[in-house]
Structure 1
Amino acid sequence: MRNGLKDLESNQRYTFVGKFTRLGYAEEYNDEDGYYYQPTILFLDVHDDQGHFITDHAWVHYTEPFVQLNELKDGDLVGFSAQVRAYKKGAGINKVTDYELIEIQDVVRKNNVDAQRAGVPSENKPLVGYVMERNRAFYEKAQRNIDEEYAQAYDQWLHPDDYSNATSYSDDGDDDQSGLDPELLAKLKQFSDDNLK
């Protein structure tokens, strides 16, 4: 549990500084979208704006204010304001109360401010793809999912000219862009359907 956050009021905004360490993703759910991936950021050694130690680590959602900093690198010190919220984690009788930082605003890089950084996607799907590609070796070793739909969305963001004639990653339609004979496609689909039952 993050005891330093426990002592902070939930209805106030506080300023923090943390050391960027890596990106990640979490599986989220809502009634409108169902299950989807949310990109996250891990900060270590989080202090308040007075330099008082708050927590050894904090995961926060990788939102637009962080995206505006462009690519983050290990050791970047990032300042931001946030509110504190209690939540339950674990399962069944093992659930415990922990604390997280939400409503992130006022994000600034505190060191390496003059360094030129590559941009990152602002839309969720290519941003998650960016996270998955950046951590591909780690995720493969840890046997964590790399969703190729998200990875392709990032590749499409990175190389838009390569996809100029392709359907957008945000297009959920079933229109075929393969150029194959429709009758052949129908036969292939039927064969596939028959063999997957």
Structure 2
Amino acid sequence: VADELIQIQKSARLDFQEGRFDEAEKSYREYLKYRPQSVVCLCNLALVKMATKRHDEAQILLEEAIAIKSDSGIAYYLLGRNFFQQGKLEEALERLAESIHYDPSNPKAFNCVGVISSQKGYVNRAEEAFSEAVKLDPDFGDAHFNLAVLYATREKPDPNRAAEHYNKAVLLGVPRDTAIEGYLEAAKVTTVSLR
């Protein structure tokens, strides 16, 4: 049975990665027949539901995972992402805070908190969250990019810090952004003309 379960898991993961969500769901459900208490499998099945925009079903699966393991940082993280995808920002922030409480080393959770906080206008909270994300994972390109945007668009822009994080993000493979590059170029011209 153990070897069969490993194969089911591999098959489900590959199906998910290649966008074959129905097949992935079938495999994860097969796995759950043998291991109904598998928090990892419930979370993976919830990811399938999220990818196919079946958010209510994803929420049920994630709440089931949390009922099995109440300190599952990943289940709270995914529940936060699920709420975020539906535009339920307050619920998303609450679940992400719980995720961080149980798993303070997840840079993606901090990045999500930063994105939601910046959307809600909580600039300081966003900066703290993005900064924590890049502290936990210095090679997290999206978090560097988000910091660059934050520094470029805040009430008192900081072009030096925006450039630092933008350049790091681009080096890490984040696509170039003409708006930020335009801002940085304009900031450079302004700085030169003031001298």
Flag whether TM exceeds 0.5 (same fold).
Answer: no
Bigger Cα Rg? 1
Instruction: For CA contacts below 8 A with separation 6 or more, give which structure has more relative contact order.
Output: 1
In terms of fraction of residues, the more helix-rich structure is: 2
Q: State the TM-score, normalized to the length of structure 2.
A: 0.30
In terms of fraction of residues, the more strand-rich structure is: 1
